[in-house]
Amino acid sequence: ARDESDNWTGKTDAKERRKLQNRLHQRAWRKAPFLGYPIPSNPHDLITQNTRSSKPVPSPSPPPPHAKPSLLIPPVIAYLPPNSPPTSAPAFKFPLSPDYYLITLIQYNVLRAILTNLSIVSLLHTVPSQCRAALNISLLPRPTSIPPSLQPTPLQLSTLHDPWIDSVPSAQLRDNLIVTREMWDEDGLCNDLLGGLYEGYDDIKEKGIIVWGEPWCERSWEVTEGFVEKWGFLLKGCGSLIGATNRWREERGEDALVVEV
């Protein structure tokens, strides 16, 4: 833990311990490349190696019949101790409730999109060992070269930043994330995008992003109303992303989001 507020040892509240542990693991993912993780010659070797030596991980067990659950939705992917053997991601158990299925699928697709885009820009090695279960998520077929949407901007090339930012298929949003770095909480943003997969869900309000198609295409991405309400300042100048969002909303018969960009 980098400060006493992150120290989960001695905490008696299981929910609080879980959140503190989740926060530390998420930081490990984001900071991994600055901690000396080796870079494989082929990032896809990570997936191949893990798959060869994988063994099943039990799905989260349902609570006892009369137990009061602490979460609306339990975790789907478990964090692993740094020195534990590679494992495969636990399988989903169907049928899922509509809310469970929807929010799980949304965040699972976002995670797969991020991993796929990280592989395209040769940054898949930045996923640390304690998150290796995620590496057994099957990636989407990728283009033979880095598409324009993921080409680095001058700001990316000149400014130290968290590598996961490079997986965002919007140059303007990437630059905004870098420029406004001191204005947003990395734990909160990561949790809204992916946290429920590892931590479970305390509520089902969508505050993240939805990926509908090829993850390297900006037109495949949609920001939710909850994301705009909480993180709208990151969308300055992101007119094409808002346009893509509203096209998806129009297909569902929903009103367009009005965002000052």
In this structure, are strands 221-223 and 209-211 parallel, antiparallel, or unpaired?
antiparallel
Weakest-pLDDT range from 35-49, 119-133, 208-222: 35-49
Tens of pLDDT, residue by residue over 127-156, are 765 565 655 677 778 888 999 999 999 999
d(Cα 215, Cα 227) in Å, to the nearest integer?
Answer: 18
Domain spans in the chain, listed from the N-terminal domain onward = 14-59+68-251
Question: What confidence score (pLDDT) does residue 14 get?
Answer: 59
Q: Is the separation of the CB atoms in 121 and 146 below 8 Å?
A: yes
pLDDT band at residue 23 under the 50/70/90 scheme: low
